Amino acid sequence: MATAAASSASEPEAEPKTAPKVGPKAEGDEDELKETRTRRKVLSRAVAAASYKTVGPAWDPQEEGVSESDGDEEYAMASSAESSPGEYEWEYDEEEEKNQLEIERLEEQLSINVYDYNCHVDLIRLLRLEGELTKVRMARQKMSEIFPLTEELWLEWLHDEISMALDGLDREHVYELFEKAVKDYICPNIWLEYGQYSVGGIGQKGGLEKVRSVFERALSSVGLHMTKGLALWEAYREFESAIVEAARLEKVHSLFRRQLAIPLYDMEATFAEYEEWSEDPIPESVIQNYNKALQQLEKYKPYEEALLQAEAPRLAEYQAYIDFEMKVGDPARIQLIFERALVENCLVPDLWIRYSQYLDRQLKVKDLVLSVHNRAVRNCPWTVALWSRYLLAMERYEVDHQTMSATFEKALNAGFIQATDYVEIWQAYLDYLRRRVDFQQDSSKELEELRSTFTRALDYLKQEVEERFNESGDPSCVIMQNWARIEARLCNNMQKARELWDSIMTKGNAKYANMWLEYYNLESHRAHGDTQHCRKALHRAVQCTSDYPEHVCEVLLTMERTEGTLEDWDIAVQKTETRLARVNEQRIKAAEKEAALAQQEEEKAEQRKRARAEKKALKKKKKIRGGDKQRADEDDEKEWGDDEEESAEQPSKRRRVENSVPSADKAQGTGVEAGLAGKRAPVDVGPPSKQKEKAASLKRDMAKVPHDSSKDSITVFVSNLPYSMGEPDVALRPLFETCGEVAEIRPIFSNRGDFRGYCYVEFKDEKSALQALELDRKNVEGRPMFVSPCVDKSKNPDFKVFRYSTALEKHKLFISGLPFSCTKEELEEICKAHGTVKDLRLVTNRAGKPKGLAYVEYENESQASQAVMKMDGMTIKENVIKVAISNPPQRKVPEKPEARKAPGGPMVPRQIYGARGKGRTQLSLLPRALQRPSPAAPQTENGPAPCPAVATSAATEAPKMSNADFAKLLLRK
């Protein structure tokens, strides 16, 4: 009954446990069935052999869940396969050999990187499949020392060990495994298994006390669990009810009363069961506690129901639940909800940080705090903040120095993602060592250890970190600065401090004013510094600083005004004036150079604009020549045509001529007259397809519907569509109807009736429009279709849609150098070897052609860091790829079209035009005498600017002039 209750209670929240897949993939495939049975035979015989050695001939396979008929059938099959070599034996041998090679590869990979989680899981699975029981146990032991195991892994391990346990020693070993399991995560199912297994040892010495101890600990740990705690309470009550002793009735009464005082699901059934079981009336105090628990249950129900309805990992729902519990303030319930959240979100560092911070500040229980910190770094070893907090907690609770050092060494081998993480962990450990030193003594063992650790930290950053990241992670030499301060202020060793600061300045920091001022502050301290070294440092700073030389000069003059002689003052004034004059010259030259470069860019832009204008004029001239030839042909037709009415109705444009369809009589008459005159009948030169021309004419005649901005919330803008798309509304409707009911699709056509490659899709409701945004970048006829919200850019000029993050994403990789022929499936197959790939995106241009770049999103930061180390520098189709953590550079904000200072001239308003330059309708109404040349206007990315342009040509425009300027020009006449 308890087991059934446990399974029913765990259904809403826990995912179903998946047993190892040892069966055939297809039931009807006899070959795979035989092959699978042969593999199962190996594991069954290994278990039987191990059990037989321990127990002897008295071992009964049925007691261990092994059927004699199944065993005989499998053994007969294996024997027949061994005696008569055939295809199944060869297939089995090949499969076994393949598994052995894979096992060797995984073991070699773990010898290189022991923090590869997926590698551990795969190795355990293969060893278990091959029946290597001893190796499976060792592999599980190694993995459990590095990572906390999930509920599924622990239950699988425990079931294997329970099936092999034959005597009291084996039972003690299983007890030890249960103790390890309940420390990794608080899982009700593991506690329930622990309690039920302990019941089997009740016949041993102290067995009854052991069972009660396990169940009491289980209730303390997960008895408050609203959905799964019920199974533990029922299992404990059933156990106590089965014991024949006088005190059992009072024990069962106590369990019922304790359970009814806690808000749990299905409390009404428990209360009814208590009423039926109890011979005496239920005390009033128990009823009051029961009613109070029911009221509490109503408060918790919304959060529990939110968890039941949401999909794993339910982080947002757990965060809301945690916030509620923190307001209530019950420590036991707060701890339980944190533990429940961590079961499904064990790879979320922020959740571990919040939990450990609560324990550090509120509960302050040593064993509990250190246990949570230890589990945190085992779950997220790549997060340096967790390791730093762990070291602080160990120091706070006075853990011995040897354990602290061992923990720090584990942190160094955890495989951090950034170089700065190594600087942070070194700094945390050095702070701990500094606090151990008694600086009242001239020399001590702790001080020597601190100095040697500083030296080791600098060597580690220079060698190990720079080799991996191409940077030390400490460009400002923070560790060396702290060492110098300790030597100067705490050890009174100013000589060593000056040596360290000289080394800091030689590492490229001499140009920064703040570094010199920090050195000056160190030297100006009366206890260990002197004025001479201060003056020397500031004189060097004046000569070397390039970012804020004025600040350094001011500090030097202030010091000489306070402590220096007249000679010192004169020297300081002379040096500062000379330095500042030189700095100003350099700045002027730099400004002139920048202005010259800007001038060159503007001249190049003007040349490009002129070239475009000339090309456009030439194209227009050719079109005019073609029009003249067309008019000549039309005149030819008028000359030879005898029908005056047809001649009078001749349209002036060729498009109308092509679209006009004369009647059959007229066409026939024209042909006869032309034939009689000896001339060839004029042929109507039309497009290749009359149907397309007819469709284009219909699109031209279609009434233009203005966009209704009030429907922007239910409308999406679709662009980058193929121009050759015949009927966009018909082609796109089935695609967008998958998101919801489509009210209208409005494709945009040009004046000639050609599709312009974009349209508006209007839905019936806002939810469908939001779902349609997920179709962004979907391939449509070989091009990535862009889907974005419908926003009026004239009202929201800064609005820009970019669906991907531009910040640092530690779980996502950026891959460059890919061959253009590499497909998404091929790259995904390569990336899967290093972790679970959640998303993979090949970067393409607007035409859908690959650019040799890709973004790969992994399940967590650890897998991403492993993939960087393994894939960076890999060769794919003769291309060497580069792999790094995704950290896009900041996008440059486009300059606003504001008036800027032109080089060497007055303020000139810079004109912004569209992507095609000025429109033909933007005519100049300004007299030529008032026109002035101006720099070419840059082009904008998305259409015309708000202000229209006024100019006579593509290359000239007039500045604004006042009334006085106009008067002077008129008076000159």
pLDDT per position as a tens digit, 445-467 = 999 999 999 999 999 998 889 88
As a whole-number percent, the residues of the chain with pLDDT over 70 amount to 71
Please, what is the end-to-end C-alpha distance for the chain in angstroms? 112
Return left, alpha or beta for 492; rule: phi > 0 is left, psi -120 to 50 is alpha, else beta.
left
Give the least confident one: 85-89, 174-178, 512-516, 620-624.
Answer: 85-89
Domain 812-885 CATH class label: alpha beta
Which of 8-22, 194-208, 358-372: highest mean pLDDT? 358-372
Q: Which residues have a Cβ under 8 Å from the Cβ of 596 and sit 6 or more positions away?
A: 903
Enumerate the H helices of 131-247 as residue ranges: 133-146, 151-164, 168-184, 188-199, 207-222, 229-242
What is the reported pLDDT for 907? 41
What is the reported pLDDT for 800? 63
What is the reported pLDDT for 85? 46
How many Cβ atoms from other residues are within 10 Å of residue 385's Cβ?
18
Encoded tokens for 878: 């003769």
Buried-state track 170-187, b at ≥16 Cβ within 10 A, e below 16: ebeebbebbebbbebbbb
Give the least confident one: 91-105, 222-236, 322-336, 642-656.
Answer: 642-656
Taking residues 255-262, what's their average pLDDT?
91
What is the reported pLDDT for 297? 92
More confident residue, 920 or 140: 140
What is the total residue count of the chain?
A: 973
Q: How many CA within 13 A on the CB side of residue 518?
A: 21
What is the reported pLDDT for 535? 83
What is the reported pLDDT for 253? 86
Q: How far apart are CA 960 and CA 957, in angstroms?
A: 10
Domain 379-584 CATH class label: mainly alpha
What is the reported pLDDT for 92? 58
CA distances from 539 to 484, 515, 559, 575, 577 (A): 21, 14, 11, 8, 12
CA dihedral of residues 105, 106, 107, 110 (deg, nearest 10): 120
The residues facing 784 across adjacent strands are: 779
- Grade residue 920 by pLDDT with cuts at 50, 70 and 90: very low
How many Cβ atoms from other residues are within 10 Å of residue 250's Cβ?
10
Buried-state track 783-808, b at ≥16 Cβ within 10 A, e below 16: bbbbbbebeeeeeeeeeeeeeeeeee
- Grade residue 706 by pLDDT with cuts at 50, 70 and 90: low
Q: How far apart are CA 748 and CA 244, in angstroms?
A: 86
- Grade residue 961 by pLDDT with cuts at 50, 70 and 90: low
Closest Cα partner for 858 from 828, 879, 819? 828
Which of 471-475, 479-483, 919-923: highest mean pLDDT? 479-483
- Flag whether pLDDT at 699 surpasses 60: no
- Grade residue 59 by pLDDT with cuts at 50, 70 and 90: very low
pTM for this model (two decimals): 0.56
- Flag whether pLDDT at 919 surpasses 80: no
Residues 148, 152, 154: CA angle, nearest 5 degrees: 55
pLDDT averaged over every residue in the chain: 76
Encoded tokens for 65: 């869940």
What is the reported pLDDT for 293? 93
pLDDT per position as a tens digit, 527-574 = 556 778 788 888 888 888 888 888 888 888 888 887 888 888 888 898
Residue 841's φ and ψ, nearest 5 degrees, are -130, 120
- Flag whether pLDDT at 652 surpasses 50: no
Encoded tokens for 157: 């391990």
Question: What is the C-alpha R_g of the chain?
Answer: 41
What is the reported pLDDT for 541? 81
Enumerate the H helices of 505-548 as residue ranges: 513-523, 531-544
Q: What is the CATH number of domain 715-789?
A: 3.30.70.330
What is the reported pLDDT for 763? 92
Contact 220, 226 (CB under 8 A): no
- Flag whether pLDDT at 18 surpasses 70: no
Give the least confident one: 40-54, 276-290, 362-376.
Answer: 40-54
Contact 604, 935 (CB under 8 A): no
Which of 44-58, 457-471, 636-650: highest mean pLDDT? 457-471
What is the reported pLDDT for 942? 38
What interhelical angle do 117-130 and 133-146 show, nearest 10?
160
- Flag whether pLDDT at 624 surpasses 80: no
More confident residue, 418 or 941: 418
- Grade residue 701 by pLDDT with cuts at 50, 70 and 90: low
